[in-house]
Each structure stands twice: as C-alpha cells, then as structure tokens.
Chain A
C-alpha cells in the first residue's frame, strides 16, 4: 500500500498522559498536514510541513501540541497532558505541493481520553 499510513489507529489514554501519533506520507510528497476531526464536524487544520520545516500552525494548536518532521519524511504529533477535549480523530495528509495539488489523507488515529 503506497498511501498515507497512520499509527496507531486507535489510542485510549487517561487524562494527563502524553500521547504520540505517527504519520508516514506518500514517499515523494514534500508537504505533510495534520488535521483534527470531532464527531459530526469536518476536519480542522492544525499544522503543515514543507519537507522538515513547519510552516504554519493553527491557533487550535495549543502549546500542549507539538509536531515534528525531522527528516522530511514521517511526522509525529505529540499531545502532552491530554484533556478530555482532545478526544478526536487526528488525520494526516500529504501532497506533492501546495495550491492545486491534491491532499491525500490517511485513515486517521482515533484518540479517546478518559
């Protein structure tokens, strides 16, 4: 499968714990995006990378959230001191470039904070 992959697919954690998600984009794609989706809503943009550089962050991305893409390939999204409001589907997407280039989404990681 040469699509975008995300791990884990599901994560259940207790409030206050730290969690980390991984995204492996399509190999030749230089752009990588993170989105968050809650029930009944469309995905909301969190941040994106061009290669290893994080170029934009939404105000939704509080200081408890950090994302990295150290070698311009896979990316990790870490949430520190999780809160129940962090429960959501976290989606990763990648594209060849910006603008008209299609974003290809992974299956997402569903986070449940108890």
Chain B
C-alpha cells in the first residue's frame, strides 16, 4: 500500500475554496486515489475517486498531476458543515480489500 502524507489540520473561512493536498510518492501503476470525509461519531463517507487528470462530482474536484505523486482535493465554497476530517487513500484497482486511512486532515471552517 502506498503511503500518503497530508497536512494534519487546516482552517478556512466560510465561502472560500479549500484545497487539501496529499503526497503519495510511491504510488503504483494500478493505484487509484480516493478521498473520504468523516464527521465526529460517524463512519467515513466516500467523496471522490480518480486515477489521473481531473475528476469532478457534485461535492468536490480531484486534481491529479501527470506524475501522480500527489493529488489535491478541492472543496468549493465551504460551509460550516464541511468541518470534518478528510482522508486521502491510495489503493489498487483490484484486490483493494482494505483501506489504509492514515491520520487525515482536520478541516475547520470558521464563520
């Protein structure tokens, strides 16, 4: 499993765009990049997944450069309800039977 490195915490004001970068220098050819969100006392929730370039859904965008050694989760116009821990995970396309979460990034949105 490729090791990931994320900032421990970030603060942002409401309405701003937030970018959380994850480093995964040892990412393998078959690895995908997945982000989960976790609120206190809840299980993690899938946000977005990608392999290369850019992926966008109704919640976030994921930017992956050509060398795939890092990725950036972009949350547009955050609100107080986006305060949570965000985990970057790297795993194989097949056989990824378990997820390695690391410690994540604690995002605090300030009014």
Contact = CB atoms under 8 A, between A and B. Distances in A.
Given A105-B45, A107-B43, A43 B99 contact: yes
Contact of B94 (A4, A45, A98): A98
B26 interface: no
A9 to B, nearest CB: 9
B111 interface: no
Interface residues of A, number: 28
Given A100-B32, A103-B46, A56 B102 contact: no
A34 to B, nearest CB: 10
Interface residues of B, number: 23
B67 to A, nearest CB: 22
Given A105-B43, A105-B44, A99 B96 contact: yes
Secondary structure of the B contact surface, majority rule: loop
B96 A98 contact: yes
B46 A99 contact: no
A44 to B, nearest CB: 7
Contacts of B93: 99-100
Nearest to B44: A105
Contacts of A99: 92-96
